[in-house]
Amino acid sequence: MEEEKDKFYDDLQKVCDRVPKHDIVMILGDLNAKIGKEKTCERVTGKYTLHGISNQNGEMVRNFAIENSMTVMSTQFQHRTIHKGTWILPDLTTVNQIDHILINTNKKKTVQDVRTLRGPNCDSDHFLVKTIIKQRLIIMPRRNTENRKRWNLENIRNPVKLKQYRRTIFEKLPQKMEQKEVNHEWENIESTLIESAEEIIKTRERHTRNKWWDEECKKAISKKNIARKKCAQKRTRANQEQYTQTRKKANKTCKEKKKQWLNNRINK
């Protein structure tokens, strides 16, 4: 176990060393680290942590942050206790703060806030951690993609369709090549190409993802979310059992629907 931890931080160090100095380095995830309120490291870890004493993993995270001039941002902001814990133990009562976010110390003002969200259903014993980041980005002009046509590439690869497309262009183009201005000539060529493509190549149909998703799946997931919310508001064994059952039922329903859809597609 100790060798695996050392290897993890060695690999992480190698990745950080490859990042250009002017870039922002942000490390976030489940580090299984309890960070305490030791005064000697308050500059790096902050003073709003959930735990009083760091465990071994917390010390490793703290040392890594110090060696790389980073700050642990998940313990820098003052919140209620329920908005600090990120993982609940199987006993359903004990909560630990083991998911953390690190960032370059000279860029720590980029992070505006870090807190736990207990409401969203992550289908996990970990709570969702929300981070607000404020960073000035270069504004790029947005391209209008709403009216962009998606042509049927299968028809383009078809020699018969391609030959028909070319013939249609040659038939329509001479009728429009009466303009003497270059801009008008280009507009005529463009409209001819598009009209011919719409007539011969056609556009692709937009395929929706998760075709197996139906009203039954939607209702099952809705019941699971309601049970999850009820369990988060009042964590009792009855509520936990109800959430566990609705979760299993929802997962089973979605798996069966997906399997059925795949089998139908294979048989076709």
Identify which of 255, 250, 251 has the alpha carbon closest to the alpha carbon of residue 222.
Answer: 250
As a whole number of Å, the end-to-end CA separation of the chain is 50
The answer to whether residue 175 scores a pLDDT higher than 60 is yes
pLDDT value at position 210?
72
Tens digits of residue pLDDT in 43-55: 999 999 999 999 9
pLDDT value at position 228?
86
Burial of 110 by CB count in 10 Å (0-12 exposed, 13-18 middle, 19+ buried)? middle
More confident residue, 138 or 232: 232
Return the SS3 of 27: strand
| Bridge-based pairing state of the strands 99-104 and 26-30 | antiparallel
Q: Compute the residue count for the chain.
A: 268
DSSP annotation of 75: G
Tens digits of residue pLDDT in 120-138: 888 888 999 999 999 877 7
pLDDT value at position 267?
77
Beta strands in 111-171 (DSSP E): 111-117, 128-133
* Measured distance CA(175)–CA(172) in Å, rounded: 6
Amino acid at 70: M
Cα maximum dimension of the chain: 84
Record the pTM: 0.60
Tokens encoding 265: 């597609």
Query: Is CATH 3.40.50.300 what the domain over 2-133 is classified as, yes or no?
Result: no
Identify which of 58, 133, 65 has the alpha carbon closest to the alpha carbon of residue 96.
Answer: 58
Give the DSSP per-residue string, 213-230: --HHHHHHHHHHHHHHHH
Boundaries of every domain in the chain: 2-133, 153-201, 215-267
